[in-house]
Structure 1
């Protein structure tokens, strides 16, 4: 009796498992065409990325050199820095205005009328009211 290994050897060596020559040639031709197409697409993609980068760099350089790009950058950075300073000043003014209200209400409870205040305790101008 035959064992399984002998059967597999016969099946592998049978002429039915060898492809026709036309099939081999046609498959090779198709694979070569696909490889060329993929290579072409890869080159087009690479070329478009490089040309886009060069164009963007050129446009940025022209804008920076001739169209006032430096000034726009300086103004933007300067305004960002000034906004931060203004925010700090606003915080101090809010704190100061709270202190001014407290001081003013304290003086008014003591019988004084605050005419003007310039930000320091020495600059109060007061008048005494008669209640």
Structure 2
């Protein structure tokens, strides 16, 4: 399912709002993921053995910034994708960022966009696994 023109406009508009404070919203995204799935902390080598509050970890901050800039929206394990924890955390973060502009239509647009991205990442991961195995 592709984004409609209107959905694409909504995603771009809200993305511009998020870009105004990427450091804050990138950390909030990861903190929401860890609230819902504390085991996600173990996916990051720089958090595994740390007693430090994750949002104070400079390595997490750097990682979150990279992810939030859409180089890839979490190459997380399939459990995270299947439960859509990342998707829900992202949508809640965007809702917080855009405030009154948030609507069911914008939520739907981001949902479609995220689902497309997650499918593309999973397909790429499968292709990488096949080429590595050969």
Query: Normalized per residue, which structure has more strand?
Result: 1
Q: Note whether the superposition's TM-score is higher than 0.5.
A: no
TM-score by length of 1: 0.23
TM-score by length of 2: 0.22
Greater RCO (Cα-Cα under 8 Å, separation 6 or more): 2
